[in-house]
Each structure stands twice: as C-alpha cells, then as structure tokens.
Amino acid sequence: MAVIVAVEGLRKVYKDGFEALRGVSLTIEEGEILALLGPNGAGKTTLISALCGITTPTAGRASVGGHDIVRDYRPARQMIGLVPQEIALEPFEKVINTVRFSRGLFGKGRDDALIERILRQLSLWDKRHSRIRELSGGMKRRVLIAKALCHEPRVLFLDEPTAGVDVELRRDMWQVVENLKQSGVTIILTTHYIEEAEAIADRIAVINKGEILLVENKADLMRRMGRKTLRIDLAAPVDAVPAALSDYNLERIEDGHALIYHYDTRGEGTGITRLLQALAAEGLGLRDIETRQSSLEEIFVGLVREDTA
Ligand SMILES: Nc1ncnc2c1ncn2[C@@H]1O[C@H](COP(=O)(O)OP(=O)(O)OP(=O)(O)O)[C@@H](O)[C@H]1O
C-alpha cells in the first residue's frame, strides 16, 4: 500500500519550553484506519495540529500525499479533513449551508451533488434544512464530519470523535468511520476509549510523553503482547495455593474459590495440561474453567506503565 502521510523526527517545543513532541516518526498508509492512543497530555492533539498546519513544528519533517506540511502547506492542507474535538458550529445556521460554506473556504466551487452524497452518507440528508441548534449531540458531530469531508480530502483526522457520546451513538459513529474507509478515505483517530481502537482500527500507534512507543497492526499487537488467563473455579475453596503448585504462580481469588493462571500464547506450551494434572494430584476438584485473552486496554496500560517506570 502507498504511504500517504510520512512523519520524520517531528519535534514541537511550545513557547514555554515544554517539549510536546520528541522526535515522532510514523508512516500512514493509504486507506487504513490508524488509532493514536495515549494518556492525557501525550501529544496526540499536538501531532494532529502540526500535520494540519495549525501549529508549526520546531524540527523534523512531515508530508501528506507527498506535500511537505510546511513548505507546501496549501496542497498538503487540501488533502486533509479535520474533525476537531470541540463542537464549534453556528447554532442558527442550517446544516446544508454550514457544509457548503466549509467547501467554499477551501476555494472549491459549489457542488450540490457531492454535498448531497456526503449528507446522505452521514444520515443527515433529512436534516439538511434543520438549524444546528435543533440537532442532537450525535448529529452535530456528524455535521463536523460532513464539514471536514466537503472539500474531498483523502486523509481525515478525527480528534476524539466519540468523547462523551453514549454507547449506542459510539457504535453508530464506528459504522460511519467504517463507511468512510470503504469510500477510500484514510483515517487517523485519537481516542481515550481503547475499545474503540480495538473495534475499528487497522493499526495502533501508542504515544506517551511526546514519543511513539509502538506502531503495529492491531491483530499482530494483540497476538504478540497478549497474554491469556485461565480461571479455575474450585469445587471447594483453598486457604492457600498448595506448595506443590508454586511453580505456576497461581493467583488465589474470591476467598480461595478460584485460581488464576497467566500463560503466554507465544511460548512453546501453555502448561495447562500439566497444571490440570497437578491440581488433580493435589486432590483439588474443579467446578469450571475459563480462558480469557488480555484486552488491548491491558496491553496499553502495561506499555505506558513500563514507559513511565
Ligand atoms: N500551547 C501550548 N503551550 C504549552 N504547552 C502546551 C500547549 N498546548 C499543549 N501543551 C502541552 O503539551 C502536552 C501535549 O498536549 P496535547 O494536547 O497534544 O495532548 P493530548 O495527547 O492530545 O492530550 P488529551 O488526551 O488530554 O487531549 C501537554 O502537556 C500540554 O499541556
């Protein structure tokens, strides 16, 4: 796949001397959904702002569609749609005018067919004559997306697209993002909701304290870093883990009614067969067993904690 966004050694030092980006390098491929994950203050918005020309990088380079974001600011910016975190819309304006106006700001001529297609894609067509203030929060977010799409960008940045949105609307928004991907738009989104990245991203970039900790295909990441746990519900509770089982580092939970075994899916063997035999040899009866894959959230928290340590 072709690279559409290339970032190389990007640094941003704010006026007060704070270094928000410490040499970020990253490539984004055409047609993918990349989720940028990071704790508060990690530098996500700064990175997006730099790529969109809102803030000037102190050092390093970046290009969008081959256009340098500083030297060729205009063509680079033409290729980008930005959906900001804050909802800033004119409350008394009608939906359709709001969107048409945004296209005009990019110096593009009126194109009613395109605007209709975008509004339909975002399920806003029926609301095109409504005033912004009459819309629900979820619809306002869709208007922000429509505005960001109306100059036909190839790369769309979504900064926290579902912050403060309820679960149902969040799923709705995921569908919208998926449809945009199908239409060929490359999407970079920042999010605090790790399940959001897990649900829709092709690749995950983790950023912490202005540095990229990793960028990896989501499925590979979960396979590589993921650990599995085996939960063993015992027929009768134990006061302590028997000494004969000490090699397994079992965790005793729920007053000894259950034991947790952590194992690595990358290892040669999981050790489960041996463990079950050892439990039987100790005379421990089992009521139930259950395995669970660690979530992206657990992987993420582990990564950031390691980086802070
Ligand atoms: N104009 C500014 N001047 C000085 N420091 C700033 C400025 N803007 C942001 N920062 C600092 O840079 C760091 C990164 O901020 P940024 O908004 O990029 O983080 P973020 O990852 O988007 O965080 P959040 O998830 O909270 O939105 C923070 O410590 C922030 O306080």
Q: What is the pLDDT along the chain (309 residues), one digit of tens a residue?
A: 799 999 999 999 999 999 999 999 999 999 999 999 888 889 999 999 999 999 999 999 999 999 999 999 999 999 999 998 887 888 899 999 999 988 888 888 889 999 999 999 888 999 999 999 999 888 898 899 999 999 989 999 999 888 777 777 788 888 888 988 998 899 999 987 778 888 899 999 999 999 999 899 988 877 776 677 889 999 999 999 999 998 888 999 999 999 999 887 666 677 888 899 999 999 999 999 988 776 677 777 777 777 766
Pull the structure tokens for residue 7.
């970032």
Nearest protein CA to atom 31 of ligand 1, as residue = 41
The Cα angle at residue 217 between residues 145 and 162, in degrees rounded to 5:
30
Give residues (CB < 6 A) around ligand 1: 14, 16, 18, 20, 38, 40-46
Q: Report how far residue 159's alpha carbon sits from residue 151's, in angstroms, rounded to the nearest whole number.
A: 18
DSSP state of 98: H
Beta strand spans in 72-116 (E): 80-83
Pair 227, 264: CB distance under 8 Å = yes
The closest alpha carbon to 4, from 200, 167, 203, belongs to 203
Amino acid at 59: A
Nearest-atom number in ligand 1 for the CA of 85 is 27
Pair 303, 214: CB distance under 8 Å = yes
DSSP state of 128: T
The closest alpha carbon to 36, from 174, 200, 267, belongs to 200
Residue 119 burial (C-beta neighbours within 10 Å; 0-12, 13-18, 19+): buried
Q: Is it true that domain 227-293 has CATH number 1.10.3470?
A: no
Name the one residue in this structure whose structure tokens are 């020309």: 53
Domain residue ranges of the chain, discontinuous segments joined by +: 3-223, 227-293
Q: Report how far residue 90's alpha carbon sits from residue 102's, in angstroms, rounded to the nearest whole number.
A: 12
Nearest protein CA to atom 1 of ligand 1, as residue = 14
Pull the structure tokens for residue 68.
């340098």
Q: Which residues have C-beta within 8 Å of that of residue 225, sequence separation ≥ 6?
A: 294, 299, 302, 303
The closest alpha carbon to 32, from 55, 3, 66, belongs to 3
For ligand 1, the distance from its centroid to the CA atom of residue 14, given in whole angstroms, is 9
Q: Is it true that domain 3-223 has CATH number 3.30.930.10?
A: no
Q: How far apart are the first and last CA of the chain?
A: 36
Nearest-atom number in ligand 1 for the CA of 39 is 25
Testing ligand 1's pocket by substitution, the residue of 12, 36, 37, 44 carrying the most ligand atoms inside 8 A of its CB is: 44
ipTM of the assembly?
0.95
The pTM of this model reads 0.79
Pair 161, 189: CB distance under 8 Å = yes
